[in-house]
Structure 1
Amino acid sequence: MSLLLEDYQRLSGITGEMRNAAASGEWDRLISLEQECKRKVEEIKPRDIVPSNPEERAQKLALLKKILADDADIRSRTESWMEQLQRIMQSTRSEQRLQQTYLANY
């Protein structure tokens, strides 16, 4: 197996861990893994080629499909979490405005 495929396997492992962290609500772990993922992508970019061997091409394609599926699942989970966080923040702002109005009138 080529070094490039090994790198893609590692990247796939990281995105799988990210998917698990998002599924279990481990947001700090997800952030840490996201940083690791970015470093790995930056490491791969300058060496990324289409393998000439058909078997390696198929392996790379399968890994890319898995990485993209992980990414879609992570986005779906984090978007709902972000929406929930936004609702909480809006509620807090509404409470603050209500308190300010109350204190200004009394």
Structure 2
Amino acid sequence: MSTSKPIQNYELLSTLMEQMREAAINGKWEQLITLEQKCSDLVVKMKQTDIEEVLDNDARQHKTKLISKILSDDSDIRNHTQTWMIELQTITQSINQSIRQGQKLQDKYGV
């Protein structure tokens, strides 16, 4: 039995999302961005293919399982990136505070 193009696309998307999840877990942000772009490109292609082909019941069930896994991976990615964003925000705030303090010293003492 050959796998339909929509199912192949969902399987590829699932694989990419799993790789993105691993990149997020391991803090590999550049890899995550590269994979996200690949996912975006694939989703654009998938929209037309998904409309054109009617799936049988087994294929629809498989597609549903793949979508559930994709959504689960997406949730994990969001959790990891939100943690990273909070850490980045804390660092940025600390840097900004140091800059403001330096500016105050420079204004006051001309240093």
Q: Same fold, TM exceeding 0.5?
A: yes
Aligned to 2:15: 13
Structure 1: distance between partners of 2:54 and 2:73: 23
The yes-or-no answer on 1:96 pairing with 2:99 is: yes
Aligned to 2:50: 48
Query: 1:52: how far off?
Result: 3.8
Is this contact kept in 1: 2:19–2:35, CA < 8 A?
A: yes
Is this contact kept in 2: 1:16–1:70, CA < 8 A?
A: yes
Q: Which runs of no fewer than 5 residues in structure 1 stay unpaired?
A: none
State which structure, 1 or 2, has the greater radius of gyration over its C-alpha atoms: 2
* Equivalent AA in structure 2 for residue 76 of structure 1: N
Structure 2: distance between partners of 1:40 and 1:82: 26
Give the count of matched residue pairs: 106
Identity across matched positions, percent: 40
Query: 1:48: how far off?
Result: 1.3
The yes-or-no answer on 1:57 pairing with 2:60 is: yes
Q: Which runs of no fewer than 5 residues in structure 2 stay unpaired?
A: none
TM-score if structure 2 supplies the norm length? 0.92
Aligned to 1:32: 34
Provide Cα deviations, 1:22-74, integer angstroms capped at 9, x if missing partner.
01110000000000000000010112148441100100000000000000000
Structure 1: distance between partners of 2:96 and 2:54: 54
TM-score if structure 1 supplies the norm length? 0.96
Aligned to 2:84: 81
* Equivalent AA in structure 2 for residue 24 of structure 1: N
Is this contact kept in 2: 1:5–1:60, CA < 8 A?
A: yes
